[in-house]
């Protein structure tokens, strides 16, 4: 995929979008083909680190205690829950659902993953928000910093899905590098590469679509 072609499409999408009173996202519409999406192995469910982030705050919640919890707070985690709070959240489904909608990434010390699965799995699982396990060989600060530049791609059983790749205020070149990263991941995800991609369009939140592929 030629990078200049992506840059041209991004610039066109931005130019065709009228000025709004709010900050618009730059979104991709990805259309797959020649895949049986009833087969789980054909579904996309991946975390991708974007070279330039998405231009907005990524909210992170951590389930940890002691020094790990303190380091998570110092690293800027939006929420740090003591493990004792897991059952409380599990009993308050409304609060748990609101949290799942607000937070982009959850991280949990691996010892608490079974309890989280039991109490919050029904809320977090369907949203693709089950926590990233924090094992003893991983650094909570590094995971938080990495997650701030990450997005989650989930196609579920759909051939068409949408993802945010930046904000309109970002330079087109930066957004294009993000798109390039996503296309490369999809290309390497499937055995037939981009043959399994019918089309990809880029657009602002309220603007017209421009074809990338």
pLDDT in tens, the chain (213 residues): 688 999 999 999 999 988 888 889 999 999 999 999 999 999 999 899 999 999 888 999 999 999 999 999 999 999 999 989 999 999 999 999 999 999 999 999 999 999 999 999 999 999 999 999 999 999 999 999 999 999 989 999 999 999 999 999 999 999 999 999 999 999 999 999 999 999 999 999 999 999 999
Looking at residue 56, what is its pLDDT? 84
Specify the pTM: 0.83
Question: Rounded distance, CA 173 to CA 182, Å?
Answer: 14
- Is 191:63 a contact under the CB 8 Å cutoff? no
Right CATH for 60-147 from 3.30.565.10, 3.40.50.790, 3.40.50.970, 3.40.50.150: 3.40.50.790
Q: Please tell me the CATH code under which domain 3-55+151-211 is placed.
A: 3.30.190.20
Backbone angles phi, psi at 9, to 5 degrees: -65, -40
- Structural domain boundaries of the chain? 3-55+151-211, 60-147
Cα separation, 86 vs 102, whole angstroms: 17
Q: Distance between CA atoms of 201 and 13, rounded to whole angstroms? A: 9
In this prediction, residue 1 carries a pLDDT of 63
Rounded CA-CA distance 200/31 in Å is 6
Query: Are 26 and 168 in contact, with CB atoms under 8 Å apart?
Result: yes
SS (H, E, C) 63-132: ECCHHHHHHHHHCCCCEEECCCHHHHHHHCHHHHHHHHHHCCEEEEEHHHHHHHHHHHHHHHHHHCCCCE
């Amino acid at each position: 995929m030629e990078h200049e072609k992506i840059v041209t499409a991004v610039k066109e999408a931005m130019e065709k979008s009228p000025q709004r009173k709010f900050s618009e996202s730059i979104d991709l519409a990805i259309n797959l083909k020649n895949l049986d999406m009833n087969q789980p192995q054909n579904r996309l469910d991946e975390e991708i680190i974007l070279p330039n982030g998405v231009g907005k705050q990524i909210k992170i919640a951590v389930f940890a205690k002691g020094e790990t919890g303190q380091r998570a707070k110092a690293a800027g985690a939006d929420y740090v829950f003591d493990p004792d709070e897991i059952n409380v959240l599990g009993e308050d489904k409304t609060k748990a659902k609101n949290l799942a909608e607000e937070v982009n990434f959850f991280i949990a010390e691996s010892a608490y993953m079974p309890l989280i699965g039991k109490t919050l799995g029904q809320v977090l699982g369907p949203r693709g928000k089950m926590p990233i396990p924090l094992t003893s060989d991983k650094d909570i600060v590094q995971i938080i910093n990495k997650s701030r530049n990450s997005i989650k791609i989930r196609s579920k059983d759909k051939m068409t899905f949408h993802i945010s790749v930046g904000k309109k205020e970002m330079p087109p070149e930066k957004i294009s590098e993000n798109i390039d990263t996503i296309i490369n991941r999809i290309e390497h995800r499937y055995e037939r590469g981009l043959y399994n991609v019918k089309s990809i369009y880029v657009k602002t939140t309220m603007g017209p679509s421009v074809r990338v592929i």
